[in-house]
Structure 1
Amino acid sequence: MNKFVDYFKIGPVFTYFIRVFRKPDPNAPTSQNLRMMHGINRISIVMFLFCLIVMIVRACTR
């Protein structure tokens, strides 16, 4: 049962959402590919949240 609960933990996902919008650690190794990946992830997170808000507003106004 413990493995089942661990499978559905979403804590690391939320920490990534917060971490992706922070300034990168100056001591961490960076590359162009990693910077592009984080940029695309920022765009997709913002689009997801915007669409989620639009869906909630549409559901509430019906």
Structure 2
Amino acid sequence: MARNEALTGEDRRIVAAEFAELYRANHSIRAIAERTSRSYGGVRALLVEAGVTFRSRGARRPY
């Protein structure tokens, strides 16, 4: 599916689930966006639709 092609219906649900799987595997929103040639906002919107619980911002502290 082309980057600028609108995602609708079942395709949108499938892509949202794939992005959620990547995010839960500890990929950042930015990394998913770069990997899939989609915008940060577009990836985030799909993650919201997939019901993802977002991590806090910033790098994890070692303590």
Q: TM-score, normalised by structure 2?
A: 0.29
> Which protein shows a greater Rg?
1
TM-score by length of 1: 0.30
Q: Which has the higher helix share?
A: 1
